[in-house]
Amino acid sequence: MVLMAAIVFTRCRGICFVWYKTIIKKMIDSHPQAADKSEYRYDAYLCYSKKDFEWVQNSLLKHLDSQYFDKNKFTLCFEERDFLPGKEHINNIRDAIWNSRKTICIVTRQFLKDGWCVEAFNFAQSRYFSDLKDVLIMVVVGSISQYQLMKHKPIRNFLQRGHYLQWPEDYQDIDWFLNNLSCQILKEKKVRRKASGIELQTVGTLSH
């Protein structure tokens, strides 16, 4: 019986998660929610290579951004819609990072080849040290070795103190991943400097 249950769960875990999320949503909706008094214009800035936009749109924006579907709960910032034409690209990137609660970097092979993407990653990491908040979420898509990631100094520095999310290979795990990513966007982690003044440690987590 245990073996059968394990086989059923493995094959149907995607459906099981959808049921679980539906039940939890009904429980949450039965309680009044406090208004979000966010100081930010956007919930998150999505940073990715232009060559990956179609994938980002189909896999993330359509499931998360409120302007794509009313049921989506996030106001996201991304280049094709929210960057101001005529404004210097570096200034658009900086404004997007500092006006968003989090920055989500979609790290693909194309991302690693794009100097603007790596620079944006560096900017987001600078804000981490400036605000003493964990504001950077790294999502790796596709097969990229640790060696390829560590070749880039900003990413190497990030991996020395944090971890990244891996886009699932099995479609059954996508709903679970999107739910996890949503939780990461909403979480606010305060950090403090260690005595050495070099590394940062998480000292508390506030959930909105």
pLDDT tens-place values along the chain, 208 residues long? 655 655 555 665 555 444 544 544 444 344 334 334 468 999 999 999 999 999 999 999 999 999 999 999 999 999 999 999 999 999 999 999 999 999 999 999 999 999 999 999 999 999 988 877 889 999 999 999 999 999 999 999 999 888 899 999 998 999 999 999 999 999 877 666 555 554 545 444 445 4
Can you give the pLDDT at residue 114? Answer: 96
Residue 133, pLDDT score: 81
Does residue 49 contact residue 113 with C-beta atoms inside 8 Å?
A: yes
Residue 154, pLDDT score: 93
Residue-level pLDDT at 132: 76
Distance, in Å, from the CA atom of 111 to the CA atom of 113, rounded to the nearest integer, reads: 5
Name the β-bridge partners of 133: 190
Q: What is the pTM of this model?
A: 0.76
Q: Is 180 helix (H, G, I), strand (E, B) or coil?
A: helix
Q: What is the C-alpha to C-alpha distance for residues 127 and 145, in angstroms, rounded to an integer?
A: 26
